Amino acid sequence: MSTLSSNLPFFIPWESSSWIQWQSQNWTFVYALIILYLLSVRLGAAYMTASSPFDLRKQLVRWNLGLAIFSILGARVTVVEMISVLSNQGLYKAVCDNTFVDNEQVLFWNWLWTWSKLIEFGDTAFLVLRKKPLTFLHVYHHALTALWAFFFWHSGLPISRWTISMNFFVHSFMYTYFALAAYGVKIPKPVALFVTIIQILQMLIGCAVSNFLIYARITGISCKMDLIHDICVNLTYISYAILFIHMFYSKYLKKAKSIDSKNK
């Protein structure tokens, strides 16, 4: 079994079994919160049509900085565990074995990650209150990620190792970028491009891992997985990949083509 060194920082002594039991029995409460989120988005956007945008720059800097620090701390634990398994036991073990469930440190940060998906609904509140464009991708991604986070965490399936570590890693860069931009730092365009690219790579890797798990189930390869869970993850990652690639095309490639055609 792979166990993280007890010398790693950022761990509060914590016992997971009670939370696993509670969330396995009560995780469906997240449906009500997601419905409330979607209604709030609709009603908030309608209210703001007749209102002036709020000046929330300082609050937005603090918000994004807090989420950036949280993501960096989470990545410090979960990504290290991922790298440890990949380097010591190989890709197969990282995909098919859930040794992280024996590590309270990793489970603790996985649990924090799950609840953070509800906190991240605040991202949408800032967009609505500041009257910034609100895309289908943004709302869909926030709502669906929160649903699957609560559906999956207590199951302890190996796919969670990939989902959570990759998300912490990407958000470490994303929220740092958002915090700097909100503060007024002029960030070079390649940095924004990099953030979008690692978001897309996250989705494509998720597609590859979940596809392998389905393949393992069909061919009889020994692999800890649940078919329903994995199909949900696979379809979600495919939809995310399509939407993020479309965003990348519209924001960078299509705009570049338009500029080129105007210059001719």
Which residue out of 141, 142, 171, 229 is catalytically annotated? Answer: 141
State yes or no: is 229 an active-site residue: no
CA proximity to 104, closest of 19, 184, 183, 173: 19
> What's the rounded Cα separation, in Å, for the pair 164 and 73?
13
Length of the chain, in residues: 264
Q: Which tokens belong to 239?
A: 């939809």
Q: Which positions are annotated as active-site residues?
A: 141
